[in-house]
A and B are shown apart, each in its own frame.
Chain A
Protein backbone atom coordinates (compact mmCIF):
# COMPACT_ATOMS: atom_id res chain seq x y z
CA UNK A 1 0.00 0.00 0.00
CA UNK A 2 1.43 3.35 -1.04
CA UNK A 3 0.89 6.16 1.49
CA UNK A 4 1.34 9.86 0.69
CA UNK A 5 2.70 11.95 3.60
CA UNK A 6 2.18 15.71 3.28
CA UNK A 7 3.95 17.80 5.93
CA UNK A 8 6.24 20.81 5.65
CA UNK A 9 8.36 19.60 8.58
CA UNK A 10 10.97 17.13 7.37
CA UNK A 11 11.43 15.97 10.97
CA UNK A 12 7.74 15.15 11.23
CA UNK A 13 7.75 13.34 7.89
CA UNK A 14 10.64 11.17 9.13
CA UNK A 15 8.81 10.42 12.39
CA UNK A 16 5.69 9.36 10.49
CA UNK A 17 7.73 7.27 8.02
CA UNK A 18 9.52 5.55 10.93
CA UNK A 19 6.23 4.80 12.65
CA UNK A 20 4.70 3.48 9.43
CA UNK A 21 7.66 1.20 8.76
CA UNK A 22 7.38 -0.23 12.28
CA UNK A 23 3.78 -1.20 11.61
CA UNK A 24 4.54 -2.66 8.21
CA UNK A 25 3.97 0.19 5.73
CA UNK A 26 7.18 0.93 3.87
CA UNK A 27 5.89 2.23 0.53
CA UNK A 28 5.64 5.97 1.15
CA UNK A 29 5.84 9.09 -0.95
CA UNK A 30 6.54 12.52 0.58
CA UNK A 31 5.38 16.06 -0.16
CA UNK A 32 6.16 19.27 1.73
CA UNK A 33 2.90 21.12 1.07
CA UNK A 34 -0.50 20.66 -0.49
CA UNK A 35 0.51 21.77 -3.97
CA UNK A 36 3.34 19.25 -4.09
CA UNK A 37 0.99 16.66 -2.57
CA UNK A 38 -1.41 17.08 -5.48
CA UNK A 39 1.45 16.54 -7.92
CA UNK A 40 2.51 13.35 -6.14
CA UNK A 41 -1.08 12.17 -6.02
CA UNK A 42 -1.38 12.78 -9.76
CA UNK A 43 1.49 10.38 -10.38
CA UNK A 44 -0.82 7.58 -9.27
CA UNK A 45 -0.70 4.57 -6.98
CA UNK A 46 -1.43 6.39 -3.71
CA UNK A 47 -3.98 4.52 -1.61
CA UNK A 48 -3.98 6.63 1.54
CA UNK A 49 -3.04 10.19 2.55
CA UNK A 50 -1.63 11.48 5.83
CA UNK A 51 -1.56 15.27 5.83
CA UNK A 52 -0.64 18.15 8.10
CA UNK A 53 -2.81 21.28 8.26
CA UNK A 54 -0.47 24.27 8.59
CA UNK A 55 1.77 24.39 5.56
CA UNK A 56 2.99 27.00 3.06
CA UNK A 57 1.89 27.16 -0.59
CA UNK A 58 -1.31 25.17 -0.01
CA UNK A 59 -2.48 24.26 3.47
CA UNK A 60 -3.87 20.89 4.47
CA UNK A 61 -7.50 21.98 4.49
CA UNK A 62 -7.35 23.32 0.94
CA UNK A 63 -5.43 20.22 -0.10
CA UNK A 64 -8.12 17.94 1.36
CA UNK A 65 -10.92 19.90 -0.34
CA UNK A 66 -9.10 19.69 -3.69
CA UNK A 67 -8.46 15.96 -3.31
CA UNK A 68 -12.08 15.35 -2.37
CA UNK A 69 -13.14 17.20 -5.54
CA UNK A 70 -11.33 14.54 -7.54
CA UNK A 71 -11.47 11.47 -5.33
CA UNK A 72 -14.21 10.80 -2.81
CA UNK A 73 -12.92 7.41 -1.71
CA UNK A 74 -9.25 7.74 -0.77
CA UNK A 75 -8.76 7.59 3.04
CA UNK A 76 -7.35 10.83 4.48
CA UNK A 77 -5.88 11.17 7.96
CA UNK A 78 -5.05 14.67 9.21
CA UNK A 79 -2.15 14.91 11.68
CA UNK A 80 -1.82 18.43 13.07
CA UNK A 81 -1.21 20.60 16.13
CA UNK A 82 -4.65 22.21 15.69
CA UNK A 83 -6.60 20.82 18.62
CA UNK A 84 -9.59 23.14 18.86
CA UNK A 85 -13.01 21.54 18.44
CA UNK A 86 -13.94 23.88 15.59
CA UNK A 87 -10.74 22.93 13.73
CA UNK A 88 -11.47 19.21 14.01
CA UNK A 89 -15.05 19.76 12.80
CA UNK A 90 -13.85 21.95 9.91
CA UNK A 91 -11.40 19.24 8.81
CA UNK A 92 -14.06 16.54 9.00
CA UNK A 93 -16.44 18.71 6.99
CA UNK A 94 -13.72 19.21 4.38
CA UNK A 95 -13.50 15.44 3.92
CA UNK A 96 -10.93 14.15 6.38
CA UNK A 97 -11.78 10.62 7.55
CA UNK A 98 -9.90 10.76 10.82
CA UNK A 99 -7.83 13.20 12.87
CA UNK A 100 -4.71 12.95 15.06
CA UNK A 101 -3.44 15.78 17.25
CA UNK A 102 0.35 16.16 17.56
CA UNK A 103 2.21 15.00 19.52
CA UNK A 104 0.96 11.46 19.06
CA UNK A 105 2.14 7.99 20.03
CA UNK A 106 2.90 5.31 17.40
CA UNK A 107 -0.01 3.32 18.85
CA UNK A 108 -2.44 6.11 18.02
CA UNK A 109 -1.18 6.45 14.46
CA UNK A 110 -1.45 2.68 14.04
CA UNK A 111 -4.97 2.65 15.50
CA UNK A 112 -6.13 5.45 13.20
CA UNK A 113 -4.59 3.93 10.06
CA UNK A 114 -6.09 0.53 10.80
CA UNK A 115 -9.51 2.07 11.42
CA UNK A 116 -9.30 3.85 8.05
CA UNK A 117 -8.26 0.73 6.20
CA UNK A 118 -11.01 -1.16 7.99
Chain B
Protein backbone atom coordinates (compact mmCIF):
# COMPACT_ATOMS: atom_id res chain seq x y z
CA UNK B 1 0.00 0.00 0.00
CA UNK B 2 1.47 3.37 -0.96
CA UNK B 3 1.10 6.61 0.97
CA UNK B 4 -1.73 7.97 -1.20
CA UNK B 5 -3.78 4.87 -0.47
CA UNK B 6 -3.06 5.08 3.24
CA UNK B 7 -4.12 8.75 3.13
CA UNK B 8 -7.30 7.82 1.26
CA UNK B 9 -8.14 5.15 3.80
CA UNK B 10 -7.38 7.39 6.74
CA UNK B 11 -9.42 10.25 5.28
CA UNK B 12 -12.69 8.67 6.42
CA UNK B 13 -11.49 7.23 9.72
CA UNK B 14 -12.77 9.31 12.61
CA UNK B 15 -13.32 12.42 10.49
CA UNK B 16 -16.69 13.88 9.63
CA UNK B 17 -17.82 12.75 6.17
CA UNK B 18 -18.06 16.33 4.89
CA UNK B 19 -14.30 16.84 4.81
CA UNK B 20 -13.40 14.04 2.42
CA UNK B 21 -16.44 14.95 0.31
CA UNK B 22 -15.12 18.48 -0.09
CA UNK B 23 -11.63 17.18 -0.80
CA UNK B 24 -12.91 14.77 -3.43
CA UNK B 25 -14.86 17.54 -5.11
CA UNK B 26 -11.94 19.96 -5.27
CA UNK B 27 -11.67 21.05 -8.92
CA UNK B 28 -8.51 20.35 -10.87
CA UNK B 29 -8.05 24.05 -11.49
CA UNK B 30 -7.70 24.80 -7.77
CA UNK B 31 -4.31 25.01 -6.10
CA UNK B 32 -2.65 21.61 -6.56
CA UNK B 33 -2.85 19.44 -3.50
CA UNK B 34 0.50 18.08 -2.30
CA UNK B 35 -0.77 14.50 -2.33
CA UNK B 36 -3.75 13.05 -4.19
CA UNK B 37 -6.33 11.63 -1.82
CA UNK B 38 -7.58 9.18 -4.44
CA UNK B 39 -6.31 5.61 -4.21
CA UNK B 40 -4.56 4.16 -7.23
CA UNK B 41 -6.55 0.96 -6.83
CA UNK B 42 -9.99 1.08 -8.43
CA UNK B 43 -12.83 1.70 -5.98
CA UNK B 44 -15.87 0.11 -7.58
CA UNK B 45 -18.35 1.87 -5.33
CA UNK B 46 -16.65 5.26 -5.49
CA UNK B 47 -18.95 7.51 -7.43
CA UNK B 48 -19.76 11.16 -7.67
CA UNK B 49 -22.26 11.04 -4.77
CA UNK B 50 -20.06 10.48 -1.75
CA UNK B 51 -22.27 11.04 1.27
CA UNK B 52 -21.57 9.31 4.61
CA UNK B 53 -22.71 5.83 3.58
CA UNK B 54 -21.34 6.19 0.04
CA UNK B 55 -17.98 7.11 1.52
CA UNK B 56 -17.89 4.03 3.74
CA UNK B 57 -18.88 1.82 0.79
CA UNK B 58 -16.15 3.35 -1.37
CA UNK B 59 -13.60 2.81 1.39
CA UNK B 60 -14.54 -0.83 1.82
CA UNK B 61 -14.27 -1.32 -1.93
CA UNK B 62 -10.82 0.27 -1.81
CA UNK B 63 -9.79 -2.01 1.05
CA UNK B 64 -10.73 -5.10 -0.96
CA UNK B 65 -8.87 -3.88 -4.05
CA UNK B 66 -5.76 -2.97 -2.06
CA UNK B 67 -5.69 -6.25 -0.09
CA UNK B 68 -5.95 -8.27 -3.29
CA UNK B 69 -3.04 -6.39 -4.83
CA UNK B 70 -0.94 -6.71 -1.67
CA UNK B 71 -1.79 -10.41 -1.36
CA UNK B 72 -0.46 -10.90 -4.86
CA UNK B 73 2.79 -9.25 -3.80
CA UNK B 74 3.07 -11.73 -0.92
CA UNK B 75 2.36 -14.54 -3.40
CA UNK B 76 5.13 -13.18 -5.66
CA UNK B 77 7.59 -13.35 -2.76
CA UNK B 78 6.51 -16.87 -1.84
CA UNK B 79 6.85 -17.93 -5.48
CA UNK B 80 10.35 -16.52 -5.52
CA UNK B 81 11.31 -18.33 -2.29
CA UNK B 82 9.92 -21.53 -3.76
CA UNK B 83 11.97 -21.12 -6.95
CA UNK B 84 15.13 -20.36 -4.94
CA UNK B 85 14.66 -23.45 -2.77
CA UNK B 86 14.15 -25.60 -5.89
CA UNK B 87 17.36 -24.17 -7.38
CA UNK B 88 19.21 -24.85 -4.12
CA UNK B 89 17.98 -28.45 -4.10
CA UNK B 90 19.26 -28.90 -7.67
CA UNK B 91 22.67 -27.53 -6.72
CA UNK B 92 22.90 -29.77 -3.66
CA UNK B 93 21.93 -32.81 -5.74
CA UNK B 94 24.84 -31.92 -8.05
CA UNK B 95 27.17 -31.61 -5.05
CA UNK B 96 26.30 -35.12 -3.92
CA UNK B 97 27.81 -36.51 -7.12
CA UNK B 98 31.07 -34.63 -6.58
CA UNK B 99 34.13 -36.77 -5.90
CA UNK B 100 35.02 -34.82 -2.77
CA UNK B 101 31.58 -35.30 -1.25
CA UNK B 102 31.55 -39.07 -1.04
CA UNK B 103 32.51 -39.47 2.62
CA UNK B 104 29.63 -40.68 4.83
CA UNK B 105 29.83 -37.53 6.97
CA UNK B 106 29.48 -35.17 4.02
CA UNK B 107 26.70 -37.28 2.48
CA UNK B 108 24.84 -37.22 5.82
CA UNK B 109 25.19 -33.43 6.04
CA UNK B 110 23.96 -33.02 2.46
CA UNK B 111 20.90 -35.17 3.19
CA UNK B 112 20.12 -33.01 6.21
CA UNK B 113 20.36 -29.83 4.11
CA UNK B 114 18.08 -31.42 1.50
CA UNK B 115 15.57 -32.32 4.23
CA UNK B 116 15.61 -28.77 5.57
CA UNK B 117 15.02 -27.46 2.02
CA UNK B 118 12.01 -29.73 1.63
CA UNK B 119 10.61 -28.45 4.92
CA UNK B 120 11.00 -24.84 3.72
CA UNK B 121 9.25 -25.73 0.45
CA UNK B 122 6.34 -27.33 2.33
CA UNK B 123 5.99 -24.28 4.58
CA UNK B 124 5.98 -21.98 1.53
CA UNK B 125 3.16 -24.02 -0.03
CA UNK B 126 1.29 -23.95 3.26
CA UNK B 127 1.63 -20.15 3.40
CA UNK B 128 0.36 -19.88 -0.19
CA UNK B 129 -2.71 -21.94 0.69
CA UNK B 130 -3.39 -19.73 3.70
CA UNK B 131 -3.65 -16.73 1.37
CA UNK B 132 -7.21 -17.91 0.65
CA UNK B 133 -8.17 -15.68 3.56
CA UNK B 134 -7.89 -12.69 1.19
CA UNK B 135 -10.67 -13.89 -1.11
CA UNK B 136 -12.83 -14.94 1.83
CA UNK B 137 -12.37 -11.59 3.61
CA UNK B 138 -13.12 -9.76 0.34
CA UNK B 139 -16.40 -11.64 -0.02
CA UNK B 140 -17.32 -10.91 3.59
CA UNK B 141 -16.66 -7.21 3.00
CA UNK B 142 -18.80 -7.31 -0.14
CA UNK B 143 -21.62 -8.74 1.93
CA UNK B 144 -21.20 -5.91 4.48
CA UNK B 145 -21.20 -3.37 1.64
CA UNK B 146 -24.41 -4.95 0.36
CA UNK B 147 -26.09 -4.48 3.76
CA UNK B 148 -24.81 -0.90 4.02
CA UNK B 149 -26.25 -0.11 0.59
CA UNK B 150 -29.61 -1.51 1.63
CA UNK B 151 -29.67 0.55 4.86
CA UNK B 152 -28.53 3.64 2.97
CA UNK B 153 -31.18 3.26 0.27
CA UNK B 154 -33.88 2.59 2.86
CA UNK B 155 -33.04 5.81 4.74
CA UNK B 156 -32.94 7.79 1.49
CA UNK B 157 -36.37 6.44 0.56
CA UNK B 158 -37.73 7.08 4.06
CA UNK B 159 -36.55 10.68 4.17
CA UNK B 160 -37.30 11.34 0.53
CA UNK B 161 -33.97 13.10 0.09
CA UNK B 162 -30.51 12.13 -1.08
CA UNK B 163 -29.32 9.77 -3.74
CA UNK B 164 -29.54 6.01 -3.82
CA UNK B 165 -26.30 4.06 -3.84
CA UNK B 166 -24.78 2.93 -7.10
CA UNK B 167 -25.30 -0.53 -8.52
CA UNK B 168 -23.31 -3.21 -6.77
CA UNK B 169 -21.63 -6.35 -8.06
CA UNK B 170 -24.20 -8.62 -9.66
CA UNK B 171 -23.15 -11.65 -7.63
CA UNK B 172 -22.10 -11.67 -3.99
CA UNK B 173 -22.14 -14.46 -1.44
CA UNK B 174 -25.61 -15.15 -0.12
CA UNK B 175 -24.52 -15.22 3.49
CA UNK B 176 -21.34 -14.89 5.48
CA UNK B 177 -22.69 -16.68 8.51
CA UNK B 178 -21.52 -20.08 7.26
CA UNK B 179 -18.29 -18.92 5.63
CA UNK B 180 -15.47 -20.75 7.33
CA UNK B 181 -11.98 -19.56 8.13
CA UNK B 182 -10.31 -22.91 8.79
CA UNK B 183 -9.40 -24.98 5.72
CA UNK B 184 -11.94 -27.74 5.06
CA UNK B 185 -14.19 -26.51 7.89
CA UNK B 186 -17.25 -27.09 5.67
CA UNK B 187 -15.99 -30.17 3.81
CA UNK B 188 -17.98 -32.78 5.73
CA UNK B 189 -21.15 -30.70 5.46
CA UNK B 190 -20.71 -30.13 1.70
CA UNK B 191 -19.86 -33.79 1.07
CA UNK B 192 -22.96 -34.96 2.94
CA UNK B 193 -25.18 -32.62 0.86
CA UNK B 194 -23.55 -33.89 -2.37
CA UNK B 195 -24.01 -37.49 -1.25
CA UNK B 196 -27.68 -36.94 -0.37
CA UNK B 197 -28.30 -35.17 -3.69
CA UNK B 198 -26.70 -37.98 -5.69
CA UNK B 199 -28.59 -40.71 -3.78
CA UNK B 200 -31.87 -38.85 -4.31
CA UNK B 201 -31.11 -38.54 -8.02
CA UNK B 202 -30.35 -42.24 -8.29
CA UNK B 203 -33.51 -43.18 -6.38
Contacts and interface: CB of A to CB of B under 8 A. Distances in A.
Interface of A: 7, 9-12, 14-15, 18-19, 22, 53-57, 59-60, 80-85, 87-89, 92, 98-106, 108
Contact of B179 (A9, A22, A55, A81): A81
B175 A105 contact: no
16 contacts: A9-B68, A9-B135, A9-B138, A10-B68, A53-B173, A54-B139, A59-B171, A83-B186, A84-B174, A88-B193, A88-B194, A101-B186, A103-B182, A104-B132, A106-B125, A106-B129
Most buried by B among A10, A12, A101: A101
Q: Which size class do B's interface residues fall under?
A: 35 or more
B173 A81 contact: yes
B136 A101 contact: no
Contacts of A89: 193, 197
Contact of B173 (A7, A15, A82, A92): A82
A19 B175 contact: no
A94 B139 CA distance: 22
B189 A103 contact: no
B119 interface: no
Interface string B123-141: 0010011111111101100
Given A9-B135, A53-B173, A54-B142, 4 more contacts: A11-B71, A103-B136, A103-B182, A106-B125
Contacts, number: 118
A104 B75 contact: no
B136 A18 contact: no
Instruction: Specify the main secondary structure of chain A where it touches its partner.
Output: mixed
A72 to B, nearest CB: 15
A11 B189 CA distance: 25
Given A81-B173, A106-B125, A11 B135 contact: yes
Interface of B: 68, 71-72, 75, 125, 128-136, 138-139, 142, 169-176, 178-187, 189-190, 193-194, 197-198
Nearest to A13: B135
B120 to A, nearest CB: 15
Contacts of B174: 82, 84, 87
Most buried by B among A100, A102, A105, A108: A102
A98 B193 CA distance: 11
Contacts of A108: 183-184, 187
B76 to A, nearest CB: 9
Given A105-B184, A108-B187, A14 B136 contact: no
